[in-house]
Chains A and B, each alone.
Chain A
């Protein structure tokens, strides 16, 4: 998931781990299974914003 990679590069892996705690899905799993949907992306962006970062 390119957005996750960019977020990790800009905010670091611990930030992504904190975001992952707030998601209803497992980032690694949807990336591995190539089942990323627009809803996944929206949820990821919302969780990032909750933590003070806008990845878009």
Chain B
């Protein structure tokens, strides 16, 4: 049976190129002959230096090592965690290899014209490069910052059309914040880098498991979306102007909450731990976090609202966020299933606000809830994983993970 070798290196030096070299060298101390090195740089590093960083990593690896990665909100390994949202800066290198393990990367620069076709092309290319369909995948996507509309579900549909049933996890790359705007992140494969693009890392010769959860609890029915300015402005809920209805539903009688929500609905929802959500047939809640108000009294929802869609008001708590970690660990086999050799988790950067100081424990907790060798965590902006039924889920405020073991 094959065995996965992996290593993780973390660097916080200011220069991205030096950070890539330092982190890759550290990762290679645990995985000397990687098939691939994935670099995750917090989004406060300069994206224009990503190609140079990729070159620097490749220069300290055996010839032919695939180097790929992107800009993300945060990285975590062991007891070290760096989130750009909280002023941290870090680059993590994840080296993956092992006998019988193949890793290849494919980048789709244009994801907007036809995201489903872009996803399909990603998977087909990775399959060609591997010489076989991947048995697991890691994806860095345009995420919720995609302009003009969230396209991760289409990209994932395309990937799964090419490789049905692929255990896949990952999330949105990040370009930080500019005022209240969220620029799209950058991803790269070798010397190809693009903004608002998608990167698929396909892994062959492994068994993969994926899971995603968020711990949201539905509190009460909010109502049906009755008016929509496509693609993402809700104009009315149950026939009432969206802003008026949303403030009443989310704040209730709490005047201070209403004041916060009026000033900055996204930050207020995250801080107050309240959001709209939709319930799936299995009863899980998937958030429709209000992103902004419009001048016309509408509500911007980044998660593809639909006319006729029923929404609930859902609560997000620290306990729920941690329960989501446990749930995903269970989906990967927990502490009684077959041991995994490498797990990678993808956590919404907003969960860090909910968790507060406990965000430092998030990935460490996962590490104790599942049998794994190496565990590595990334913060992303829009999470991707598989539900218990094996269906792909693209969501926010969630925790997703991929578990691998040699086959």
Contacts and interface: CB of A to CB of B under 8 A. Distances in A.
Contacts, number: 39
B83 interface: yes
Contacts of A28: 179
B267 A14 contact: yes
A12 B263 contact: no
Instruction: Label chain B's interface by main secondary structure.
Output: helix
Query: A10, A14, A28: which has the most chain B beta carbons within 10 Å?
Result: A14
A17 B87 contact: no
A14 B179 CA distance: 10
Interface residues of A, number: 13
Contacts of A14: 85-86, 177, 267, 270, 353
B263 A21 contact: yes
Contact of B84 (A10, A12, A17): A12
B77 interface: no
Residues of A contacting B: mostly: helix
Interface-centre pick from B83, B88, B267, B353 (highest chain A CB count, 10 A) = B267
A18 B83 contact: no
B264 A12 contact: no
A33 B84 CA distance: 28
Nearest to A7: B87
Contacts of B84: 12
A10 B89 CA distance: 11
Interface in A11-48: 11-15, 17-18, 20-21, 28
B260 A21 contact: yes
Interface range, B side: 10 to 19
Contacts of B76: none
Contacts of B87: 8-12, 15
B258 to A, nearest CB: 12
Contact of A17 (B83, B88, B176, B264): B264
A9 B268 CA distance: 21
B271 A15 contact: no
Contacts of B180: 17
Contacts of B88: 12
Contact of B267 (A9, A12, A17): A17
Nearest to B264: A21
A24 B263 CA distance: 11
Which of A8, A10, A13, A18 lies at the interface centre, i.e. has the most chain B CB atoms within 10 A of its CB?
A: A13
B122 to A, nearest CB: 31
Nearest to B352: A14
A20 B264 CA distance: 9
Nearest to A9: B87
Interface in B350-367: 353
Given A13-B177, A28-B179, A18 B271 contact: yes
Contacts of A15: 85-87
Nearest to A13: B177
Interface string B373-407: 00000000000000000000000000000000000
11 contacts: A11-B86, A12-B86, A12-B87, A13-B85, A13-B177, A15-B86, A17-B267, A18-B271, A20-B264, A21-B264, A21-B268
